[in-house]
A and B are shown apart, each in its own frame.
Chain A
């Protein structure tokens, strides 16, 4: 740590890489927080957790006792000694007149602001709630149990909720009209996981109980890609600059022009550095692209039947830059897919067991170097590119269902924390250990303390931190 600071002082380290290094240091020292308790009002297993995307301050949880609750994770409601207790700001449950009858499987924020949130439940309903009045604004009735709902954080032209249900069809519910706008059919079994692409607002990724992961472009009919576990490439693609990556991912036609040379790189070379720091390379993509041209709309029947997992796909997660897709299956495997090529990257995530009968919620760290995956009663953090376990977080007494990693934005006024919810009704907070890095710790520690008491403004502290490390402000090219 001190060496890094000296290097930074001497100008040997670039500001970005220094900031990233500090962040990843902190990430790798996550442990159960002793100073922050979330008092769970749930009486059933916690199925879904999400911190709002605008402020990074409100945690939404959905549990199987048909209750959903919102917590303020920055300001504690009260404290016992050194322990700050976060009680829920409000909770809706069965007693609510429009509440869900059965377990809530998924609760998400409206990505634009915290005025709305969406809950999907096993009672076949999706409710859209007004946060301020805690009333149901829009209500969708679906043909089966809702497993997962998703909204695109990029969307500027639509307000669609993608719903994966027991039914084979994926439905897109339009909040503005209150009706289904799309019905996407292609899966042969229920859909357990739904995820919007992080690079295009039109691309939806769904994983079904039939083991298939399908890509949909909602502007056109049918699915345009089915991931196949037998199609693989070794390692990562060479990095490309953020701008081109975004463009590439949105325009699929470019894929065809890529040369047939397959590049495989040793994964750990790139570790810890944001991709923006690398000089932009030629943007060579792997070979499989040549046949892609005519797949869509008439997908080959053979490819249509390909599967990505044996058994159900229980969890999907797109990395922050939108280039990779993580999937968890009931065959107890995590797989990392290259979104562009649709290939399995053959990263072997170390042996583990996953819950098979429930949708899982995975999380990644902000520079996509770590994957947090719930493995039975523990949460394991894997290195994204090598698959090695770097952390095992054990604190739950029963299986963990969901995790959410909250990373600091450019002003560093969001605590860098991991939240996990499990079958033992608890929501646990994992924060970087205080003695990992002395300087950082002292600063952050003070900051956290003052925040708990709520004495000072967050922005001010942000500037405080940025005074200590003057370059932090510049460090987020991809968020």
Chain B
């Protein structure tokens, strides 16, 4: 009996504790505790239902909101609780939806509106799942929906509609697939034939080319040192290197290659279409399974053979796409500029390199300009190219240079006379004024120099603010560090360029970028760079190690802290039954304990936005501490008086 009462009070205390908070959710541990306590016995569930209904009457929306959340949790789980709550459903709805005009929802308006929407949502949910068992639930739902015409979220109906839409979509796509399948069935043989014929042609072409090339290749290969090109890869590289010359050298070859190129294009198109057909065949669920399987098999075979042919083509070293571009002779030619020299760098002198670099610099400008003049082939000498570039683009480059020098000036009327050398009539203003100051010389002019003098603009030096880059180091809670420091972020160290995920852009990659340039330079430079690289890498590794260590330490600390918090929470929970019962008593007696008062304050603070001076004063004066102090002082005074009055009686 005694135990049971303790337990009962525990449920009540737990619920009161759970609802006495300013959060937008019930504390999950408390909720769990409530559920586990309630699960054990029906009497506690009854107590819980009673307590919750009492709490719903509390004159504070926040409390009602949290109570409603708890009610929902229990409602979805316990039949007994449902029957208990449904008995008083009209009351619950009145208190949570606030549809009666004389019983509106209490104060914090924001919470009240969420309370209302949540209550309506819950009611709908309850009605959907338990409506058939409880007439009152149906009645309440019906009343709110059809009589008061409140807006229900209609979750289930929406879900159903979405489902239906999806089904519809699926059905439509299936129809389309089926249509495609039928079409395929109709002209399967023709498709197959077409592809097969392309394949055959390519094979033939390849055979021809192969025979010729083999004949061609063997000769230079024999000429060169045979040892080097034994392995296939090296030979491949060699072929790659020689390829350009090959294409352009023999004209009888070219016809075949053109045909091959055409066929190659066709083949890639076929590949795509076969892929599509295969996907159609895989996805369609047709009754004609036999045809489907056979077609699928044949398509896969075709695909494989196409792939094989393609590989053969590529092995041959005919990179057709590149060649096609090459044939078009558009501006992409210029991209080869820097590549060409590096490829066969050994045959050029270092002086030419520099010129090449110049070309590379200007090429950006050139690319946009009309470069019809540079229609020469790849065999055009680099030097000639350089000269051509210079002469063809001198005008535009001059303009660019001038533009770079020109000052930027704000727009104004003075620009009308900018740079004009003509004199200006002084008295021709278009305004006929009767001058009273004597005769007017209408032909008076102001010399241009004077005008220019008058139009001299003063310009202030404006320091252009360099944009300080954000640190962008990844944060632990997600996102990037938004701090903007000049050089060093106090949290994440020196600011380095980082990618979108906050990882520092790899230094090695930048090195890779730079290496070709350096490669061009002398060996010393290279060595120096290497040393530098190694040092840099070492430094970085050390930094990283340090960073890792720090992070590890931090993680450890966080773990420990978390654990501690958990332990403390557990302890607090375990001791609730006694300590908060104590607090409860104290509160009913008069002033609450520290924690209780704290909670009250937070709830009350939701109600009262501003604390007036009066409140502050009264709190100061009427607080427990001060009142106790005054009491003691008074009693002391009284005591003193007494002692003074009756010195012989104490």
A425 (CB) vs chain B CBs: closest residue? B147
A81 (CB) vs chain B CBs: closest residue? B132
Is the CB–CB distance between B139 and A397 below 8 Å? yes
Contact with B along A359-383 (1 / 0, CB 8 A): 0000000000000000001000000
- Chain B residues touching A, majority SS: helix
- Kindly list chain B residues whose C-beta atoms are within 8 Å of the C-beta of A33: 135
Is the CB–CB distance between B90 and A377 below 8 Å? yes
The distance from the CB of B288 to the nearest CB of chain A, in whole angstroms, is: 44
Contact with A along B52-90 (1 / 0, CB 8 A): 000000000000000000000000000000000000001
- Kindly list chain B residues whose C-beta atoms are within 8 Å of the C-beta of A426: 139, 142-143
Q: Does B188 contact A (CB under 8 A)?
A: no
- Contact partner of B136 (CB less than 8 A), chosen from A80, A82, A83, A395, is A395
- Contact partner of B90 (CB less than 8 A), chosen from A397, A425, A428, is A397
The distance from the CB of B499 to the nearest CB of chain A, in whole angstroms, is: 60
Contact residues, B107-131 vs A (CB, 8 A)? none
Q: Does B133 contact A (CB under 8 A)?
A: yes
Is the CB–CB distance between A34 and B135 below 8 Å? yes
Is the CB–CB distance between A397 and B143 below 8 Å? yes
The distance from the CB of B143 to the nearest CB of chain A, in whole angstroms, is: 4
CA of A80 to CA of B131, assembled, Å: 11
Q: Does A424 contact B (CB under 8 A)?
A: yes
- Kindly list chain B residues whose C-beta atoms are within 8 Å of the C-beta of A83: 132
- Kindly list chain B residues whose C-beta atoms are within 8 Å of the C-beta of A425: 146-147
The distance from the CB of A51 to the nearest CB of chain B, in whole angstroms, is: 20
Is the CB–CB distance between B132 and A397 below 8 Å? no
CA of A33 to CA of B140, assembled, Å: 15
Q: Does B134 contact A (CB under 8 A)?
A: yes
Q: Does A37 contact B (CB under 8 A)?
A: yes
The distance from the CB of B186 to the nearest CB of chain A, in whole angstroms, is: 51
Contact residues, A292-342 vs B (CB, 8 A)? none
Contact with B along A116-158 (1 / 0, CB 8 A): 0000000000000000000000000000000000000000000
Is the CB–CB distance between A32 and B135 below 8 Å? yes
B139 (CB) vs chain A CBs: closest residue? A395
A82 (CB) vs chain B CBs: closest residue? B132
Is the CB–CB distance between A394 and B147 below 8 Å? no
- Kindly list chain A residues whose C-beta atoms are within 8 Å of the C-beta of B133: 34
Contact residues, A51-110 vs B (CB, 8 A)? 80-83
CA of A426 to CA of B140, assembled, Å: 11
CA of A384 to CA of B256, assembled, Å: 115
Given that A397-B140, A397-B147 are known contacts, is A37 also in contact with B90, CB under 8 Å in the complex? no
- Kindly list chain B residues whose C-beta atoms are within 8 Å of the C-beta of A80: 132
Q: How many residues of chain B have a CB within 8 Å of chain A?
A: 13
Is the CB–CB distance between A37 and B147 below 8 Å? no
Is the CB–CB distance between B147 and A34 below 8 Å? no
B93 (CB) vs chain A CBs: closest residue? A397
- Kindly list chain A residues whose C-beta atoms are within 8 Å of the C-beta of B140: 397
- Kindly list chain B residues whose C-beta atoms are within 8 Å of the C-beta of A32: 135-136
- Kindly list chain A residues whose C-beta atoms are within 8 Å of the C-beta of B136: 32, 395
B99 (CB) vs chain A CBs: closest residue? A397
CA of A33 to CA of B133, assembled, Å: 10
A33 (CB) vs chain B CBs: closest residue? B135
Given that A395-B139, A424-B143 are known contacts, is A34 also in contact with B134, CB under 8 Å in the complex? yes
Is the CB–CB distance between A37 and B135 below 8 Å? yes
CA of A82 to CA of B135, assembled, Å: 12
- Contact partner of A424 (CB less than 8 A), chosen from B132, B135, B138, B147, is B147
- Kindly list chain B residues whose C-beta atoms are within 8 Å of the C-beta of A394: 90
B143 (CB) vs chain A CBs: closest residue? A397
- Kindly list chain A residues whose C-beta atoms are within 8 Å of the C-beta of B147: 397, 424-425
Contact with A along B378-405 (1 / 0, CB 8 A): 0000000000000000000000000000
- Kindly list chain B residues whose C-beta atoms are within 8 Å of the C-beta of A428: 139
- Kindly list chain B residues whose C-beta atoms are within 8 Å of the C-beta of A395: 135-136, 139
Contact residues, A402-439 vs B (CB, 8 A)? 424-426, 428
CA of A394 to CA of B147, assembled, Å: 18
CA of A395 to CA of B143, assembled, Å: 11
CA of A428 to CA of B136, assembled, Å: 10
The distance from the CB of B115 to the nearest CB of chain A, in whole angstroms, is: 19
CA of A32 to CA of B139, assembled, Å: 11
- Kindly list chain A residues whose C-beta atoms are within 8 Å of the C-beta of B132: 80-83
The distance from the CB of B134 to the nearest CB of chain A, in whole angstroms, is: 7
CA of A37 to CA of B147, assembled, Å: 17
- Kindly list chain A residues whose C-beta atoms are within 8 Å of the C-beta of B143: 397, 424, 426
CA of A426 to CA of B138, assembled, Å: 12
- Kindly list chain A residues whose C-beta atoms are within 8 Å of the C-beta of B146: 425
CA of A33 to CA of B138, assembled, Å: 12
CA of A426 to CA of B90, assembled, Å: 15
A428 (CB) vs chain B CBs: closest residue? B139
CA of A81 to CA of B131, assembled, Å: 11
A394 (CB) vs chain B CBs: closest residue? B90
- Kindly list chain A residues whose C-beta atoms are within 8 Å of the C-beta of B139: 395, 397, 426, 428
Determine which residue in A34, A377, A425, A428 has the highest number of CB atoms from chain B within 10 A of its CB, and name it: A34
A36 (CB) vs chain B CBs: closest residue? B135
B147 (CB) vs chain A CBs: closest residue? A424
CA of A347 to CA of B147, assembled, Å: 38
CA of A260 to CA of B142, assembled, Å: 58
CA of A34 to CA of B139, assembled, Å: 11
CA of A425 to CA of B147, assembled, Å: 8
Contact with B along A1-39 (1 / 0, CB 8 A): 000000000000000000000000000000011100100
Determine which residue in A80, A397, A428 has the highest number of CB atoms from chain B within 10 A of its CB, and name it: A397
CA of A450 to CA of B635, assembled, Å: 84
CA of A83 to CA of B146, assembled, Å: 20
- Kindly list chain B residues whose C-beta atoms are within 8 Å of the C-beta of A377: 90
CA of A425 to CA of B133, assembled, Å: 22
CA of A246 to CA of B425, assembled, Å: 131
B137 (CB) vs chain A CBs: closest residue? A34
The distance from the CB of B335 to the nearest CB of chain A, in whole angstroms, is: 74
The distance from the CB of B200 to the nearest CB of chain A, in whole angstroms, is: 70
The distance from the CB of A108 to the nearest CB of chain B, in whole angstroms, is: 26
CA of A32 to CA of B136, assembled, Å: 8
Apart from A32-B135, A34-B133, A34-B135, 19 more pairs, CB < 8 Å: A32-B136, A34-B134, A37-B135, A37-B138, A80-B132, A81-B132, A82-B132, A83-B132, A377-B90, A395-B135, A395-B139, A397-B90, A397-B139, A397-B140, A397-B147, A424-B143, A424-B147, A425-B146, A426-B142
| 18 A-B pairs whose Cβ atoms sit less than 8 Å apart in the complex | A32-B136, A33-B135, A34-B133, A34-B134, A34-B135, A37-B138, A81-B132, A82-B132, A83-B132, A377-B90, A395-B135, A395-B136, A395-B139, A397-B139, A397-B140, A397-B147, A425-B146, A426-B142
Spell out A's residues near B (CB within 8 Å). 32-34, 37, 80-83, 377, 394-395, 397, 424-426, 428
Which 7 pairs of residues, A with B, have the shortest CB-CB distance?
A: A397-B143, A34-B135, A32-B135, A81-B132, A424-B143, A424-B147, A397-B90
